[in-house]
Amino acid sequence: MRKKSTEEELGTSPPVSNRLSRFLPSCVFAQMGVPLFLNPLDQLFPEGACYYVNILVFTAILYQEYSDVAINREIQRQQGKEPGTEEEGSDGTPSPSNLSPSSSFRSSRGSAFALWQDIPDVRTSGQLDNFSNEERKLQEAKFELVTSEASYIRSLTIAVDHFMLSQELTECLGAQDKQWLFSKLPEVKDVSERFLQELEHRLEEDILRFDVCDIVLDHCPALQRVYLPYVTNQAYQEQTYQRLLQENPRFPGILSRLEEDPICQRLPLTSFLILPFQRITRLKMLVENILKRTTPGSRDEDTATKAFNELKTIIKECNSSVQSMKRMEELIHLNKKINFEGKIFPLISQSRWLVKHGELLEVDTQMMSISGSKLKLPTRPVYLHLFNDCLLLSRRKDAWKFMVFVHAKIGELKVKDLSQKLQGISGFIFHLQLCEVHFKQIPFIHPLFLSAVADTSQVQCIKSYQAQEHDELTLEKADILHAKTITSDGWVEGIRLSDGERGWFPKTYVEEITSRSARLRNLRENIRIKCVTQKLKVDD
């Protein structure tokens, strides 16, 4: 008998169709006791009933592996380093050797990913030679969205059925811990399965000229409904996982046994829990690749643009929700460590967040003395907490406690750069004046000197980075940015091409795009997407 899903048991949503996905034959193999890697699909289905013979190898690959290979391939393409391809010509025409965004993909096990052009019905249709190079690329980009969704659901199924529904794991976790650890993962899986079913139906209707962006657009409200709460729960999820490892004596052993099961392919639970964060971003990139290849001015371009914009909105809302959650958690944490001299200052506020914090050196200007040619500056440490709307200056009571002796609103501050006037002194020196209320003037030396070097080069993210401060920028692999400033201590200020977001990130997380033709192509693609997006807004 079919195992009931968590949603059916709880009565939270209607069950999905029992129709077997042609991209996910592993469930059939398991029921029949047939090894997954050895049997072609045409042994399981009547002749002609399944188009996707060589999807079998693809579905053996979990989404984690697919995602790594696919994004690294995109990085190579955007840098002009794609293996087996030539640089674009001077007229911007793509090399004919690159027939698909996914061609030549290989997993770490050496298995090639499935391609649209390799589907038997496509090969035997006699129509493939009538497709232009760009038309083939477009169909491959659409097909990759479908196959990657199938791989994603395979990994989600392991996360839910193998981990979340594990009887042993359930018995060692409390109800609240289980909720924080897995959040709305079953709901995410349910929505994704419905999404894949519609994509597959579309493929069956017209394997040669199918579209997917209208289906993406139709499913965006459902995606937003499940992804937003799941992503928002990220902070609690991470904290719960670490706390269970440290405080629940049974959890590490049970988790280790579950992770050692061959179905996990040596991947940890955490790699399954972060799948929704990765997928919603990847889905936007897949639609963007389709948009780049659609015919300008066509109805397909209009639909792809709308789907792309909706996905961007979902991601923006997810990031904003996560950021708000983290900011509030940070304020609550700080409020326990900070004490005020005199009047109590209400630190916790929905509209407040921490921008920067760190230790500075307060200079006693009245005690300045000159000995020979050296300027002696009597100093003492002061800790600064700079928020978006106020500033706190404090002394350390101990390693974790602070006593605030000055606090002021941002509008009450005046800052003057003294670095040029006090030459010969290392560090960034500024004069801080607290006006109207405190009338206290304090000069500081920042312990870190930043020698900014202007650089408008194009860089690409090669390793995901999560912003730690308000002025930093969260990066996903394959993001392209203009590098505006590079500091001597290894930080870069950049502007992301896709959305114009600006912020700081470590230099080690990006790599310069040295190919001129690759930079020009990246700019052209970005300009086109911006143009169609703006046109859509005007038309609406």
Residue 350: partners with Cβ closer than 8 Å, 6 or more residues away: 328
Better pLDDT: 130 or 68: 130
For residue 431, what is the enclosing H or E element?
strand 428-434
pLDDT recorded at residue 8 = 40
Rounded to the nearest 10°, the torsion over CA 73, 76, 80, 84 is -60
pLDDT at 456: 54
Express as a percent the part of the chain with pLDDT over 70: 73
For the chain, the maximum distance between any two Cα atoms, rounded to a whole number of angstroms, is 95
Q: Residue 493's beta-bridge partner residues?
A: 485, 504
Calculate Rg over the CA atoms of the chain.
Answer: 28
34 close to 119: Cβ distance less than 8 angstroms = no
Tens-digit pLDDT profile for residues 173-212: 988 999 999 988 999 999 999 999 999 999 888 989 999 9
CA 373 to chain centre: 53
Query: Which comes out higher in pLDDT, residue 473 or 111?
Result: 473
The total of other beta-carbon atoms located within 10 Å of residue 366's CB is 6
Using CA atoms, how far residue 500 sits from 326, 509, 530, in Å, is 23, 19, 10
Q: Which two tokens stand for residue 51?
A: 């188009």
Per-residue pLDDT at 419: 67
pLDDT digits (tens, 9 = 90+) for 132-167: 989 999 999 999 999 899 989 999 999 999 999 999
Reported as a pLDDT band with limits 50, 70 and 90, residue 436 is low
Measured CA to CA in angstroms, residue 448 lies from 203, 372, 426, 434, 519 at distances of: 58, 26, 9, 23, 33
pLDDT at 516: 79
For residues 119 and 26, what is the distance between their CA atoms, to the nearest angstrom?
A: 19
Rounded (5°) CA angle 267-272-275: 130
Give me the mean pLDDT over the 307-311 stretch: 95
The backbone torsions φ and ψ at residue 72, rounded to the nearest 5 degrees and listed phi first, read -60, -35
More confident residue, 284 or 27: 284
- Please determine, for residue 29, whether its predicted confidence score (pLDDT) is greater than 90: no
Mean pLDDT of 251-272: 93
Residue 195 near residue 224 (C-beta atoms within 8 A): no
Q: What is the pLDDT, as a whole number, of residue 279?
A: 93
Distance (Å, rounded) from C-alpha 526 to C-alpha 403?
49
Whether residue 425 is predicted with pLDDT greater than 90 in this model: the reply is no
Of residues 426, 415, 416, 417, the one with CA closest to residue 375: 426
- Closest of 51, 72, 157 to residue 114, by C-alpha: 51
The DSSP call for residue 112 is B
Q: Residue 68: which pLDDT band, with cuts at 50, 70 and 90?
A: confident
Query: Does residue 86 or residue 248 have the better pLDDT?
Result: 248
pLDDT of residue 63: 84
In the beta sheet, which residues pair with residue 512? Answer: 459
In the chain, what percentage of residues exceed pLDDT 90? 30
Distance CA 235, CA 229 (A): 12
**86 forms bridges with which residues in the sheet?**
none
Taking the chain, what is the end-to-end CA distance rounded to the nearest angstrom?
Answer: 50
How many Cα atoms occupy the beta-carbon half-sphere of 377 within 13 Å? Answer: 18
Rounded CA separation 128/331 (Å)? 60
Mean of all residue pLDDT scores within the chain: 76
Which range, 54-63, 76-85, 135-144, has the best average confidence (pLDDT)?
Answer: 135-144
| Cross-strand bridge partners of residue 510 | 461
How far apart, in whole angstroms, are the C-alpha atoms of residue 146 and residue 148?
Answer: 6
The DSSP symbol for 475 reads B
Give kind and range of the element (H or E) at residue 511: strand 510-512
Query: Is the pLDDT higher at 355 or at 93?
Result: 355
Tokens of 206: 């017209």
Q: Once rounded to an integer, what is the mean pLDDT over residues 427-449?
A: 58
Write the burial class of residue 197 (CB in 10 Å: 0-12 exposed, 13-18 middle, 19+ buried): middle
